Amino acid sequence: MSGESKIVQGDSITWSRGAGELGLSDSGPMNIAEICTDRNLRLGRGGRPALIHQGHAGDPRTYTFEDLKELSCGWAAFLAEAGIRPLDRVCLFLDRVPELYIGFLGILRLGAVVQPLFSAFGEEALFQRIDDSQASCVITQRRHLGKLRRIRERVPSLHTVVVIDHDPAGKPLRSGEVAFSMDDGRRKDFPVARTFGESPSVLHYTSGTTGKPKGALHVHGSVVAQYLTSKVVLDLREDDVYWCTADPGWVTGTSYGIIGPWSLGVTQFVLDAGFSSERWYAAMARHRVSVWYTAPTAIRMLMKDGAEATRGHDLSALRHMCSVGEPLNAEGVLWGRQAFGLDFHDTFWQTETGAMMITNRPGLPVKPGSMGRPFPAVTAAVVDPETGEELREPGQVGMIAIKPPWPSMMRTYWNNTATYYSKFLGGWYICGDRASVDEDGYFWFCGRDDDVINTGGHLVGPFEIESALLEHEAVAESAAIGKPDPVNMEVVKAFVALRPGWEPSDDVELSIMNFIRKKLSPLAMPQEIEFVDKLPKTRSGKIMRRLLKARETGEQIGDTSTLEDD
């Protein structure tokens, strides 16, 4: 097909071509919700399924693009009525229910900033993120309301909590809480806010080594990058049924679980049910999923059940598979060929980059174990961490760096411009990951350059865990590291020195684990706790997590000359 051969010609893939295809001009109005709804209606896609949603129980529900428009207009009208103004931060604290996906568009239509919060977050994780953004509204459901109520007094900015499944016969709502039923709130239309390419759209919090989680702020113009990469790398076409397995609490679930596919008018499938390989394959067969975007941890979980597990299912619709979030090892790619007869196409990017930066795109050979090559409109390199100088020798390991600007680049960290500026060196944006580039321009991931823990593709900040650990009555000091894990890549391991009067025991261990699970999230919960008398520290008092990690993995410990004592 001529369309396909164009895709292989990387030169013709430019951001301005993406903007042109979407009918956008640099200075004209631009709104992600308008593109995902009104534009699709104008193109005659109103009757096409936009969302096929399958929950824990019951039959799947299908929403057309027309439904998307009217239901998101309903959301925008309701929020405006509730006193939400353009640029207010509105949090979505929801499981993967239809309200999450459609509410997202309603918030953007109103010109407010959408702040997704992973529904498994505990009170402290929630508090940090709402307190930092000073959000005025949180949209949630009954089962998560308790966590919000417990922090409500500590976040005075939060004037409205919307409950999407309130039961009038059940417990009453409190002041500042309002019920909204999306199905009943449908509106034919609601004026799109006058937003432009540089107007704030999405605020996603991500973890660093030090300090609180940082809010990466994106803009409406990001859609150009999400559109073009969805088209070229996910290879989405009009008749596809696309499944992104990521939760919109994380950036993959918004950039490629909402904005990318819907900007192309493509049908997407959402499964709001726990993992089992049987359930996944059955869902893919039933809904004839043709394009699939998932993560290495999920692939390794599927691998455990063997390629045979696919056999009883008709996966003949599946034609393209991509992966993101962690290194996709060569075994994963080879297994994918066995199980599905297709290659998993690895993609590398970050919350901060907003869209894929380094990719394996259809038409280019996959080298198992490599993340692929820079997306054609992207300039990427590996650079010297000190000078920012590009390392041009094949095989040299350096920091992954991207040349700004690109449409979906974060515009700042909320309330934290100093850290934002610290991410640039020598004219490059520095991702904080190490890699090498081979003679064909393929990138090979080596590791992160900080102490952030990557568990199942989710970043967890050691500082966040350590701060929470300190609040447990038994803990005097602690350090959290990522311990290598065969399925999740890493799991959290905590080293804990107990306060006087406390003795290590299974009970203390369990109590600490549960404490973190409830306060932060199941992801942040240490899978292992090692009790120690004291922690290795530098002379300036910084905990040497790297030393603990090296001990754990049996690696070379490296320079310890700044260590406090021997």
Where on the chain is the footprint of ligand WT7 (CB under 6 A)?
A: 206, 251-252, 324-327, 346-351, 371, 431-433, 445, 448, 454, 457, 459
Q: Which is nearer to ligand WT7, 18 or 456 (CB)?
A: 456
Q: CB nearer to ligand WT7: give 244 or 475.
A: 244
Q: With respect to ligand WT7, which residue has the nearer C-beta, 115 or 347?
A: 347
Sign of the torsion formed by the C-alpha atoms of 532, 536, 542 and 545? negative
Calpha distance 405→411 (Å, rounded): 10
Q: Is residue 109 classed as helix, strand or coil in its secondary structure?
A: helix
d(Cα 317, Cα 425) in Å, to the nearest integer? 45
* Half-sphere exposure at residue 560, Cβ-oriented, CA atoms within 13 angstroms: 17
C-alpha to C-alpha distance for 232 and 362, rounded to whole angstroms: 8
Measured in Å, how far apart are the chain's first and last C-alpha atoms?
67
The nearer residue to ligand WT7, 10 or 432, going by C-beta atoms, is 432
Report helix, strand or coil for 382.
Answer: strand
Min CB(145)–ligand WT7 separation in Å: 27
**Closest CB 312 distance from ligand WT7, rounded Å:** 30
Instruction: Name the β-bridge partners of 481.
Output: 493
CA distance 544 to 548: 7
Query: Whole-number minimum distance, CB 323 to ligand WT7, in Å?
Result: 7
Q: Cβ closer to ligand WT7: 345 or 493?
A: 345
What's the DSSP call for residue 31?
Answer: -
DSSP code per residue over 179-204: E--GGGG--S--PPP--BTTSEEEEE
| C-beta closer to ligand WT7: residue 51 or 295 | 295
Beta strand pairing status for 137-140 and 397-402? unpaired
- The answer to whether the beta carbons of residues 162 and 82 sit under 8 Å apart is yes
Query: Is 400 or 529 the residue whose CB approaches ligand WT7 more closely?
Result: 400
Q: Which residue number, 98 or 457, has a Cβ lying nearer to ligand WT7?
A: 457
Give the residue with the Cβ less far from ligand WT7, 431 or 494.
Answer: 431
Q: Which of 76, 69, 72 is nearest to 39 (CA)?
A: 69
Smallest gap, in angstroms, from Cβ of residue 366 to ligand WT7? 13
- Closer CB to ligand WT7, 74 or 261, in the complex: 261
Taken in order 407, 413, 414, 418, the sign of the CA dihedral is negative
CB of residue 78 to ligand WT7, shortest distance in Å: 31
Taking the complex as a whole, how short is the minimal distance between the CB of residue 209 and ligand WT7, in angstroms? 12
Omega within 30 of 0 (cis) for the link into 405: yes
Q: Residue 155 in contact with residue 130, Cβ under 8 Å?
A: yes
Tell me how far apart the alpha carbons of residues 336 and 294 are, in angstroms, rounded to a whole number: 12
Residue with tokens 């993959």: 252
CB of 488 to ligand WT7, least distance (A): 13
* Closest residue to ligand WT7, based on beta-carbon distance: 351
* CB of 473 vs ligand WT7, minimal distance in Å: 32
Query: 345 or 519, CB closer to ligand WT7?
Result: 345
Is the separation of the CB atoms in 469 and 516 below 8 Å? yes
Report d(CA 361, CA 12) in Å as an integer.
Answer: 14
CB of 59 to ligand WT7, least distance (A): 31
79's enclosing H/E stretch is helix 65-81
Angle between helices 123-133 and 142-151 (to 10 degrees): 70
Rounded distance between C-alpha atoms, residue 381 and residue 457, angstroms: 23
Closest approach of Cβ 181 to ligand WT7, in Å? 32
**Residue 452: CB minimum distance to ligand WT7, A:** 7
